[in-house]
Amino acid sequence: MNPVRLDLAPLRALLGDDGVLDSRAARFTYEADALVIEKHPPDAIVLPRSSDEVAAIVRWARAHGVPITARGAGTGLAGGATPEHGGLVLSLNRMDRVLRVDSERMFAWVQPGVVNLDLSRQLAEHDLYYAPDPASQQVSTVGGNVATNAGGPHCLKYGVTFNHVLGVVAVLENGDVVLLGGEAPDSPHFDLASALIGSEGTLAIVTEICVRLLPKPQAVKTMLFDFETIEQSCRAVSAAIAAGIVPAAMEIMDRHTVGLVEAWLGIGLPLDAGAVLLIEVDGPAVSLEAQVERITRLAENEGARSVRVARDEAERAAIWKGRKSAFGAYGRAASGFYIMDGVVPRTRLAEALAGVGRLCAERGLESGNVFHAGDGNLHPHVLFDADDPTQQAAALEASHEILRMCIRMGGSISGEHGVGIEKRPMMRELFAPEDLAVMERLRAAFDPERRLNPGKILPGDGDGGGAPAQLGGMHPGAEGEGAWI
Amino acid sequence: MSLALGLGRERAVTVAGYAIGLQVPRVALRPATPEEAAEALRAAAADRLAVVLWGGGTRLRRASPARGYDVALDLGALDRVLEYEPEDLTVTAQCGVTLATLAATLGARGQELPLESPRANDATLGGTLAWNGSGPRRRRFGAPVDRILGARFALSDGTLARAGGKVVKNVAGHPVHRLLCGSRGGLAAIVEASLKLLPAPETRVALVYGLKDWEVADAARWKPLPRLEPSFVTVLGATAARALPAAARVEAPFVAAIGIEEERRWGAEQERAIVAVLGAPTARVEGDAVVALAQALADAEDQDGARLTLTSAHLTPAALAPFVERADAARLVLHAPAGRLHWFPADENATTLALDLHQAGFRVIDTRGPLTFQAPIPPEVAITPLRARIKDGMDPAGILSGAR
């Protein structure tokens, strides 16, 4: 689409000059989310402040046959917010207010541009919090979390975004503003909000969200175990679950990752460990000591060599910093790496990790693993030299094979990052044609002309015919905690 | 039409057991496999026959089909637990397995699937999912739509399809399986589902209180309760409470049953905190008796006669304040933390009642029986066409008679 042919004046009249951006610089700023390998500049960026403005934009776009890609903070790793077919990027960042907190009935209405962590900060005075905590929570928005049905380290115990959204106000493709669900937990008929959550902006544009709030846990205990082998650490995870304990979080880093993180941060991680296992339990203070004792006993039975229990918030933060810095540590170690988001049944974790190692080693590549062990959600990182096309191709191939392995094990190609552009070709391997056809029908019911984030999730036009060329997020040179897994 | 709709005649069963009110289908079929179920739907679609999907009949026997009723498709023979791996905390089962069977299978390994339905011995997994049914533990443990990980389902064009998966975390593809929860058999027939489990709690205790009407209505009394997160707080009118198990039976205008299902030490602390707020209970039950009590509380919605079911954002019994003096409050059931109210009006003309309930924040989500009332809530005009398009997309022949 050629921006010259679009008359943006009506949008400027609606949103003000600062609400419509179409400079070259702006268009390049919004050309991709964190999947930087795929870049498609939009024709213009619009920044509405209300549901009514979103509705007016949608109606304008409909009249002009212009596609719309809604965008939160752009932290997505799958290309979900990349305007693959040009048109408008509708940024929800100016809709960033917490509209209402009902502390007695424990819900809040928020606009989609509210940053996840800001919401919980604003709720602190009520002794409440919003449970979904994607690792990107300091930057990512609640609206973006809704679009991807985001998880996070603590979703093992508390569930994903879907479980914490009571209702949404959404703008449909025809510009109607509708309420789906609401403050009450149930709806008559089937729940349309349930279809929207995780739909990556392809069904409607969510403009207000009613989130369920929880009382803040009384206390938290964070433990760090080290094991000689990664298999032992995986067995300890299974043993805890089998014993009826559901910790708030269970995260594993393998030897490779521990080495890189320790070399960078020097926080005292054991360099000779095959894996370290972070377990966090939260809840009533009276319960936690017993849980820590039980988990420690189970972990020792599986071969844990040592346990470190955070004595205070500072030590807890240090343990989590190690976990959350893995991504940055990879970025320091290699000029390029691919990160995946596969899922396997928890009981097959050790087998899957061995598979990751083998598939990479066969191609002469290094790999690291840091993952949500309690959920079976793997984030293998395949490291490569970004200047070496042969290595890059080999890394792509390994990434593809790793996700295939997840499918064969009864798992999935995405646990929390979404399908977007990146994993679209693999949808044909995960699902049968008839499964995808039903999803197409659902999509068509919401957006018959495919104007809302066209081309995402479902394979079809422009998916590269299933070639693996779009697989794997490439994040050369990522530093610090700048991207999240 | 062929009586067996593409299946062998041995799949035809007597229609007498499938009456809904006074309506009896022309044919009743009990397929033995998902493929047979899909084939029966395809054949029914070819003949434009209205199909009602049957599980255990726990809800349908008191419901009325929305559009016609030619075929009862009984999915009860699809009753196998397909995969159960306790260390994954997941189960995959066919739709016809009963909640009681699932509870026994999972309970043997110290786990549970917190789905709730009246008459759990008959209620099937598929039926509970299709109605997104819930009970007293709704807020704490979620509704079926919160627990479903994926499903296999038969469409009326004879296709068997899947959405979601079997792992606890999965965002690949559109969640059609979640949309089927609450669709009441109007979009597709769920033939198999994967669900997320929980470990059984270490301790179960229930505190039962006999209450006067002003005690139910006293907002200050209940205010601290939601943050203690009891697993249930159900209020019943005196008549409804008479059906509770003997150990929990209390004679009073209202009865509140409060569940504590926790780790042992926290359970004890929680009990102390609740007693500090509400005083000593009239009765106290523990262990398996709490499971039986929770089932009785779920059963309480299954009383005879007309019923309004309402949802609200309320979390405490004080939401009943405007209604406690009504004579027909004696049969009410309120699962307080879930805001779910079942009301059995004495008067079949329930317009005034429904309006009053609406004023008090309750929204009608279901009606049953010979009720006549003007819905106090405007129909969802803006999304009616969207719902119709989804229905057309999933069931283009329009034969799935989503029962109401």
| A214 SS3 class | strand
Q: Is the pLDDT of residue A479 over 60?
A: no
Q: What percent of chain B has pLDDT over 90?
A: 82
The H or E element that residue A208 is part of is: strand A205-212
Contacts of A127 in chain B (CB under 8 A): 227
Residue B240 has pLDDT above 60, yes or no: yes
Band (pLDDT 50/70/90 cuts) for residue A1 is very low
Determine the pLDDT at residue A187.
85
B121-152 pLDDT tens trace: 999 999 999 999 999 999 999 999 999 999 99
pLDDT at B191: 98
Q: Which residue of A has its CA nearest to B227?
A: A215
Q: What is the pTM of this model?
A: 0.95
B314 contacts in chain A (CB < 8 Å): 105
Q: In this predicted model, which residue has the larger pLDDT, A462 or A63?
A: A63
The pLDDT assigned to B105 comes to 97
For chain A, say whether B165 makes contact (Cβ under 8 Å): yes
Which residue in A387, A253, A375 sits closest to A322, CA to CA?
A: A253
* Dist. CA A44–CA A295, nearest whole Å: 53
Contact B87, A238 (CB under 8 A): yes
Compare CB distances from A178 to B166, B270, B383 and report the shortest one's residue: B383
Instruction: Tell me if A249 sits within 8 A of A237, measured CB to CB.
Output: no
Q: How far apart are CA B302 and CA B351, in angstroms?
A: 22
Q: Residues of B numbered 209-238 whose beta carbons fall under 8 angstroms of chain A's beta carbons: which are they?
A: 223, 226-227, 229
The owner of tokens 């209940």 is: B222
Residues, chain A: 485
B198, B141 contact by CB (below 8 A): yes
d(C-alpha A213, C-alpha A128), whole Å = 6
ipTM of the complex: 0.95
For residue B313, what is the DSSP state? S
**pLDDT tens digits for range A25-45:** 999 999 999 888 789 999 999
Q: Is the pLDDT of residue B39 over 90?
A: yes
Amino acid identity, position A277: L
State the pLDDT at residue A188.
81
Residue among A156, A69, A342 nearest B172 (CA): A342
pLDDT tens profile A114-163? 999 999 999 999 999 999 998 888 899 999 999 999 988 888 899 999 99
Residue A475 has a pLDDT of 44
CA dihedral sign, ordered A122, A125, A129, A134: positive
For residue A283, which residues of chain B lie inside 8 Å, CB to CB?
Answer: 263, 266
Between B402 and B346, residue with greater pLDDT? B346
* pLDDT of A6 strictly over 60: yes
| β-pairing verdict for A380-384 and A366-372 | antiparallel
Interchain contact, A435 vs B162, CB within 8 Å: yes
pLDDT at B186: 94
For residue A185, the chain B residues in CB contact (below 8 A) are 138-139, 143, 311, 313, 338-340
- Interface membership of B145 toward A (CB under 8 Å): yes
The pLDDT > 90 percentage for chain A reads 78
Mean pLDDT to the nearest integer, A85-99: 97
CB contact set of A248 (below 8 Å; sequence gap of 6+): A153, A154, A156, A157, A158, A217, A220, A280, A281, A282, A283
DSSP helix/strand/coil, B297: helix
CA-based radius of gyration for chain B: 21
CB-based burial, A89-111: b 16+ in 10 Å, e otherwise:
bbbbbbbbebeebbeebbbbbbb
Name the strand (E) or helix (H) holding B217: helix B213-217
> Which domains, from first to last, does chain A contain?
8-91 (3.30.43.10), 98-215 (3.30.465.10), 217-326 (3.30.70.2190)
Name chain B contacts of A188, Cβ cutoff 8 Å: 364-366
Cβ(A384)–Cβ(A337) under 8 Å? yes
Strand order in the sheet with A68-71: A20-21, A44-46, A88-91, A68-71
Q: Which of B132, B174, B367 to mutate to test the interface with A (most CBs of A within 10 A)?
A: B174
List of residues 6+ apart from B78 with CB closer than 8 A: B31, B32, B33, B34, B37, B94, B95, B96, B126, B191, B192
User: With 80 as the cut, is the pLDDT of residue A405 above it?
Assistant: yes
Whether residue A332 is predicted with pLDDT greater than 90 in this model: the reply is no
Task: Compute the distance between CA of residue A99 and CA of residue A36 in angstroms, rounded to an integer.
Answer: 33
Phi, psi of A136 (to 5 degrees): -85, 10
Nearest to B76 by CA among B29, B40, B38: B29
Residues of chain B neighbouring A349 (CB-CB closer than 8 A): none
Q: For residues B282 and A465, what is the distance between their CA atoms, to the nearest angstrom?
A: 68
Query: How far apart, in Å, do the first and last CA atoms of chain A sit?
Result: 34
* Closest listed residue to residue A97, CA positions, set A80, A118, A128: A118
Beta bridge partners of A183: none
Q: What is the pLDDT of residue A111?
A: 98
Smallest CA-to-CA distance from B165 within A279, A408, A13, A225 is with A408
Among A327-331, A362-366, B168-172, name the one with the lowest average pLDDT. A327-331
Residue ranges of B 269-298 with Cβ closer than 8 A to chain A: 269-270
Quick one: three-class SS letters along A12-56?
Answer: HHHHCHHHEECCHHHHHHCCCCCCCCCCCCCCEEECCCCHHHHHH
The residue extents of the domains of chain B are 1-200, 203-368
> Measuring CA to CA, which residue among A157, A314, A296 is closest to residue A224?
A296
At A3 the pLDDT is 46
Q: What is the pLDDT of residue B63?
A: 75
Mean pLDDT of the region B388-400:
94
Could you tell me the CA-to-CA distances from A231 to A226, A227, B88 in Å, in that order? 12, 9, 16
| C-alpha distance from A127 to closest chain B C-alpha (Å) | 10
Neighbouring CB atoms inside 10 A of B81's CB total 15
| Yes or no, beta carbons of A194 and B87 under 8 Å apart | no
| pLDDT for position A480 | 40
**If you average pLDDT over residues B55-60, what whole number do you get?**
89
Residue A410 · residue A344 · CB < 8 Å: yes
How is domain B203-368 classified at the architecture level of CATH?
3-Layer(aba) Sandwich (3.40)
Q: Is B378 on the interface with A (CB under 8 A)?
A: no
Neighbours of B2 (CB within 10 A): 11
pLDDT at B2 over 80: no
> CB within 8 A of A102, min separation 6: which ones?
A108, A183, B313
Of B388, B384, B392, which is closest to residue B156 (Cα–Cα)?
A: B392
Put simply, the chain B residues between 174 and 193 with a CB less than 8 A from any chain A CB are: 174-176, 178-184, 186-187
Question: What does pLDDT average to over chain A?
Answer: 91
Does CATH place domain B1-200 in 3.30.465.10?
yes
What does the alpha-carbon distance between residue A115 and residue A121 come to, in Å, rounded to a whole number? 10
